[in-house]
Structure 1
Amino acid sequence: MRILITGATGLIGSSLTRQLLNLSHEITVLSRNVTKARNQFGEKVSYWPSLNEIRSLDGFDAVINLAGEPIADKRWSKAQKDRLCRSRWELTERLAALINASSTPPSVLISGSAVGFYGDQGQAVVTEDESPHNEFTHQLCQRWESLALRAQSSETRVCLLRTGVVLAPKGGALAKMLPPFRLGIGGPIGDGRQYLPWIHIEDMVNGIIYLLDHPPLSGAFNMVAPYPVHNEQFTATLAKVLDRPAFLRAPAFAMRLLMGEAAVLVLGGQRAVPRKLEEAGFSFRFFELEQALDDVINQQA
């Protein structure tokens, strides 16, 4: 396949791009920083610095859209919320327009989203059919998804990736968690009862490729492992894998002071399960959190 990828230098995109290259696909990477992308992938891929001169996506078999400003790196000021939205919405809208302008459009658009689509769902089991709570994360993801769905037609199917916390050897949420836990000063956040939907990077990448390779599949997919855990269970398991204590609880009020409105990312949660992915026949390698954490921390170190 000839595949266009946005967000290829990110946590998911970098692993996915390497795996697709290993599978002998022809890859074009869209990146504002072509030098950074070339340092990662060399001359095995083609590079586009922008879509400004592009009039259609004729010749591509698939588009995988993973670009977006990291959601948890800064407090959600009005300006930061705008950046978070624009970094997702504008590119997705442009890609959908290019697909619609193509005489032979790509057969699939796989576009990013997040379990934040649902808002804070408490203890309820969250499948792809769950009604969302109207919070900022839902508003962000709902618009993101609706723009991607503009590309849907009889010739192009659209798959939406409602992704949880991706566990990887380097980068992502785990990289921020590890330093205090390695010092023995980690612990649960708030009451620790909020659910944390997670997925191992290998299952995330293989799940995307599964969607790519199975033409009947379309719509939203929860990209999470089958067994989400409470925050307190996650922290206890992480501490066990690191052979460190985990008893210093971070109070909810302290997280709100530190993160502002963005504290909902760690104080709220979703008991999301991958119903549609499993019904489609995808097989996870990492079901248990301890197995996944041990792999990314100890086996791939």
Structure 2
Amino acid sequence: MNILISGGSGFLGSAFSKEIMARYRVQDKALYITWLTRDSSQVHPSDIEMMTYDELASSDKSFDVILNLAGAGIADSRWSDARKEQLLASRIKPTESLLAFIKRTSIKPKLMVSGSAIGWYGAQGDKPLTESSGFETDFAHQLCHEWEQLALKATEHGVPVAIVRTGVVIHPDGGMLGKLLTPFKIGVGGQLGDGKQIMSWISREDWVGAVIFIIEQHLAGYTESQATQDNLLKTVTGNDTPALVYNLTAPNPVTNHTFTKTLGAWLHRPTFFTLPSFLLKLMFGEMSTLLIDGQNVLPQALQDASYEFKQPTLKQALEEQKS
């Protein structure tokens, strides 16, 4: 199998590449992974091929699967107007390059898995949200929606699309947990606001496992007609090529208070501090919604497809980390 990955060297893409290659070696199956890059001199594992976006524009290679993960971190800095434009462009431009390749190539990929986030649902408090739920309009929703709608254009060329809406990914190598480790280790970690906001999370191991599961299900012939979720994206695409959405979250979301206490217990550190909501708004502006407003997002589509979570609880996700 040949897989092309945009954002392959990132927090999720690198972990995915490492795990799927290990699995295929054990099964003695052929697997080739190519990372898309803008810098041809980028350091990469020896068993990973590299391709620039310029090379993709004229490449005659064929790929079974495209994994579209490229995009600047939404929580990496304050949302100024310039930052919002950068967040959108960092997702749209790579996706446009992939769509141009799909349109041009004679041998179409069998599947494109395209990144998104649970921010698509907007801030809806503790209301349970599944793949067929509606949304509240805010910047996070608009960002995810534009990215998703562009990726869905692959169906116009007969390529099925699986949209993966990712929650907070738990692993000390990066993401939110990586940023929180230092303050928690020195004993100044604490809850955000009143701590009642729901945090929908997933371990990085389960994120990787779920994406591999989705790919294998689709390549084995899993179609939209077999899913029990509403045909949410079929209506949007307006054609018969399958387009599904998956919430990549664990089945047990937690409050920020519970997350704080669980993380403190794991690190054997106190968690007495609290950052009040007004201070978070002063510090982060509009971006503070990611910290203050909860989302109770559930992985209904994964569970309907019988995916088995390896780390369904936060305690497991922290205690069973793999490097």
Cα deviations by residue, 1:172-200 (Å, 9 ceiling, x for unpaired)? 11011111111111111011111111111
When normalised by structure 1's length, the TM-score is: 0.94
Distance 2:196 2:256 in 1: 6
Distance 2:211 2:306 in 1: 13
Other-structure match for 1:12: 12
Partner secondary structure for residue 103 of structure 1: coil
Other-structure match for 2:217: 214
Deviation of residue 153 (structure 1)? 4.7
Deviation of residue 95 (structure 1)? 1.1
Q: Given the alignment of the two structures, is residue 74 of structure 1 paired with residue 99 of structure 2, yes or no?
A: no
Cα deviations by residue, 1:22-63 (Å, 9 ceiling, x for unpaired)? 22411111012343342xx12x12111224652466511110
Indicate conservation of the 8 Å contact 2:56/2:101, yes or no. Answer: no
Cα deviations by residue, 1:253-301 (Å, 9 ceiling, x for unpaired)? 11111111111111112100100011011110011111111223xxx47
Other-structure match for 1:246: 271
Indicate conservation of the 8 Å contact 1:121/1:268, yes or no. Answer: yes
Distance 1:209 1:149 in 2: 20
Other-structure match for 2:306: 281
Aligned CA distance change for structure 1 residues 57 and 168 (closer, same or farther; 3 Å): farther
How many residue pairs end up in the alignment?
295
Deviation of residue 9 (structure 1)? 1.0
Indicate conservation of the 8 Å contact 1:115/1:162, yes or no. Answer: yes
Q: Given the alignment of the two structures, is residue 27 of structure 1 paired with residue 67 of structure 2, yes or no?
A: no
Other-structure match for 1:121: 124
Distance 1:158 1:51 in 2: 24
For residue 62 of structure 1, what is the amino acid of its counterpart? V
For residue 128 of structure 2, what is the amino acid of its counterpart? V
Moved more, 141-150 or 57-66: 57-66
Distance 1:57 1:141 in 2: 30
Other-structure match for 2:228: none
Cα deviations by residue, 1:115-149 (Å, 9 ceiling, x for unpaired)? 00011110100101111110000000001000000
Indicate conservation of the 8 Å contact 2:119/2:141, yes or no. Answer: yes
Indicate conservation of the 8 Å contact 1:226/1:273, yes or no. Answer: yes
Moved more, 57-66 or 285-294: 57-66
Other-structure match for 2:235: none
Structure 1 vs Structure 2 CA RMSD: 1.6
Q: How does 1:110-259 map to 2 (within 5 A)?
A: 110-153=113-156, 155-215=158-218, 216-217=222-223, 218-259=243-284
Q: Which runs of 5+ in 1 are unaligned?
A: none
Indicate conservation of the 8 Å contact 1:56/1:101, yes or no. Answer: no
Indicate conservation of the 8 Å contact 1:111/1:158, yes or no. Answer: yes
For residue 209 of structure 2, what is the amino acid of its counterpart? N
Indicate conservation of the 8 Å contact 2:190/2:273, yes or no. Answer: yes
Deviation of residue 245 (structure 1)? 1.1
Aligned CA distance change for structure 1 residues 261 and 81 (closer, same or farther; 3 Å): same
Distance 2:56 2:64 in 1: 20
Distance 1:291 1:178 in 2: 17
Cα deviations by residue, 1:213-261 (Å, 9 ceiling, x for unpaired)? 1122541100010010111110011011111111201011111111111
Q: Which runs of 5+ in 2 are unaligned?
A: 25-29, 224-242
Distance 1:278 1:96 in 2: 30
Distance 1:5 1:14 in 2: 10
Indicate conservation of the 8 Å contact 2:53/2:97, yes or no. Answer: no
Partner secondary structure for residue 192 of structure 1: coil
Partner secondary structure for residue 66 of structure 2: strand
Identical-pair percentage? 39
Moved more, 15-24 or 183-192: 15-24
Other-structure match for 1:294: 319
Distance 2:34 2:189 in 1: 41
